[in-house]
Amino acid sequence: MQRPDPSEYAPFYANYIALVTETDIVATLAAQLDRFLTLFRPVPEAVGNVRHAPYTWSIKEVVGHLADAERVFGYRAMRIARGDATPLPGYDENAFTAAGEFDRMPLADLVEEFETLRLGNLCLFRHLPDAAWTRLGTANGSPISVRALAWILVGHVRHHAAILRKRLEGAAG
């Protein structure tokens, strides 16, 4: 499958898409889940609420944010893949994270929630007809394709996981 063209997404997402060099995006989504679980399952609960300056979110809040984004982008992909032309709203990740109150939840539950959502999105993407991948819709006032949403899901997790890996290495060292 070809990478999404810049006309298929808002410029804001270009940095996420640039983090994805693979072409088999479904296999990449699946492999990323395995790496995510390997990284986060062993993290002790006590580390989950830690905030490392200059970051304002705890590790739990970042994992909760990743679950929220997985849900929002997956929903957008499903609606657009099914030919729904209804413009979809944006979402404020800071407001969602604050309202999620993720620090009160066990880190293992947040990791499991992300896993469940990714598995659901994998089912969707694995079974899309070819024509669905390049369907365009509107989200947050900008055009977006199903293909771009799959690349964004991978790039978004890569972006945050790289930061969290550094934070966790610093906490261990």
Q: What are the pLDDT digits (tens) for 25-69?
A: 999 999 999 999 999 999 999 999 998 888 899 999 999 999 999
Q: What tokens appear for 116 in the block?
A: 């469940």
Superfamily of domain 6-172: dinb family like domain (1.20.120.450)
pLDDT, tens only, 87-120: 999 999 999 999 999 999 999 999 999 999 999 9
Closest CA to 59 of 166, 171, 164: 164
* Helix 25-40 / helix 107-126 crossing angle, nearest 10 deg: 170
Q: Is the model's pLDDT at 162 over the cut of 60?
A: yes
Q: Which amino acid is at 169?
A: E
| Mean pLDDT of all residues in 1-18 | 96
| Mean pLDDT of all residues in 127-156 | 98
Q: Is the model's pLDDT at 173 over the cut of 60?
A: no
pTM equals 0.95
171/116: higher pLDDT: 116
